[in-house]
Amino acid sequence: MSGEPPSEVRHRAAAGWVFPPAGRAPIEGVRRVNLRELAARPERFEHHLVVVARVGDAQLEVATASEPLYFAHVNVSDEYAIALPTGDEIVDRFPLRTFLTDAATGEDVARYNHRVGDLVLHPLGLMHWPGRLRPPYEPLAIPRGMRRCGLSLVFCACVPTPAGDRPLAVSEGRAADAKSYVSISPPLALLDALREKDRVLARVGRATLDLRVRPRAVAAPRGAYVVVLEAAGAGPHHACDLVHVPPGGVVDAAGIERALVFASDSVEASPPPASWERLPEPPFAPFEAGERAPLPFARADLTATDAGAAHVGIAAGGASAVVPRHWLARTLFRIGLHRPALGYVETYGGFFYDDRRAADAGVAIGVRGGEPLVLAHDAALALVEALYRAVAPDGYTERCPD
């Protein structure tokens, strides 16, 4: 028995995931949520990223999507990502590929071939782009009822944080899966958390992500979060459980085969965020819940013109590009949804948004090769929403279709 919840309380694209048994007894002294259940909430959007844990300025985010990521991203810190097992054999066997790109030139400098259970480093200062499509960048044609989504965990910081002592390594036998394209390789890490022994996998700021194999217990002098990767079927723990251990607490780990421990020696783990109970509200309504704006669009020296049913022309700062409507709309809504510190994002064609400046220095928006527009944060968000409503293609929706 898989313990799957009733279909009406899960997202349709998570139909193949395996959930914990219903009505599990709580674990004394700790709080627990299951990341599969959080990501399978039917009200969530396509490619929805949610913060689920914080230790100082470091955080864990969970993201789920049934489409490739549609923008390259430069985060405000080093970022580590791991595709979590879902229990859906088709999803969990799917091969993954992430490109690392020089943010100044747009040239690829490395790539990872990875899979479920691999933790990969997205180094600070480089763009990373998982699942990048080739021209003409068509949205995936998925037959009705066949859409499936994966589940990822991200470890990063919520404020600009310099790279520190990275535990750079590639798991044995996986050297070909972390490939540099340049003579001086960028920092690369690919660690198979489903096969490695106990070790520190990643560091961001003052927090670490440690791998524990068959631990008897997890003690947390300053508090911790435990992400269960694998667990024995008869125990109290289930794959993709996220357990908050308060400062000074200890959790019995009987039945846990493999887990990630998110903690710090110097700062306390924050209590579980509100996202455990409900999804954060988006800063503006999804396209399907509002009015379409007309084209051509012009605001703050940025223009958008009709270039056909699937594309739009964007011009700003002396540069122009033809951009796929679907992926531009996806990017624009996530700029709002994933505030406040998104970093730099660039979608197909070169449209970009950059909020890495100081809080009072505004946001840069533009097209690669041109001079960016610099706007105050509120004005930038208003421009993003207005452009979103003008460029989304007919039939577009933020919640993935059947």
Summarised one tens digit per residue, pLDDT across range 100-132 is 999 999 999 999 999 999 999 999 999 999 999
Q: What is the pLDDT of residue 5?
A: 42
Least confident of 161-175, 212-226, 275-289, 329-343: 329-343
Determine the average pLDDT of the residues in 322-345. Answer: 92
What does pTM read for this prediction?
Answer: 0.94
Read off the pLDDT of residues 199-228 as tens digits, 9 standing for 90 and up.
999 999 999 999 999 999 999 999 999 999
Average of pLDDT values for 270-298? 94
Q: What would the mean pLDDT of 152-181 be, rounded to a whole number? A: 96
Residue 8 confidence (pLDDT) above 60: no
pLDDT at position 164 over 60: yes
Q: Could you tell me which residue, 3 or 97, shows the higher pLDDT? A: 97
Q: If you average pLDDT over residues 159-182, what whole number do you get?
A: 96
Residue 56 near residue 36 (C-beta atoms within 8 A): no
* pLDDT one-digit tens code per residue, 62-112: 999 998 899 999 999 999 999 999 999 999 999 999 999 999 999 999 999
Maximum average pLDDT range among 139-153, 302-316, 338-352: 302-316
Respond yes or no on whether the N-terminal peptide bond of residue 246 is cis (omega within 30° of 0): no
Average pLDDT over residues 160-170: 94
Measured in residues, the chain has a length of 402
Return the pLDDT at 23: 86
Which band of pLDDT confidence, cut at 50, 70 and 90, is reported for residue 399? confident
Report the top-level CATH class of 7-276.
mainly beta
Domain-wise residue ranges, the chain = 7-276, 287-391
pLDDT at 2 over 50: no
Whether residue 231 has pLDDT greater than 60 = yes
Average pLDDT, the chain: 93
- Residue 402 pLDDT: 61
How sure is the predictor about 246, in pLDDT bands with cuts at 50, 70 and 90? very high
Query: Residue range 47-61: average pLDDT?
Result: 95
Note the pLDDT of residue 7: 44
Q: What is the mean pLDDT of residues 147-166?
A: 94
356's tokens? 């890495």
What's the pLDDT band for 234 if we cut at 50, 70, 90?
Answer: confident
User: What percent of the chain clears pLDDT 70, i.e. is strictly above it?
Assistant: 97
Q: How far is residue 122's CA from residue 188's CA, in Å, rounded to a whole number? A: 8
Mean predicted confidence (pLDDT) in 158-165: 93
C-alpha–C-alpha distance, residues 161 and 203, integer Å: 11
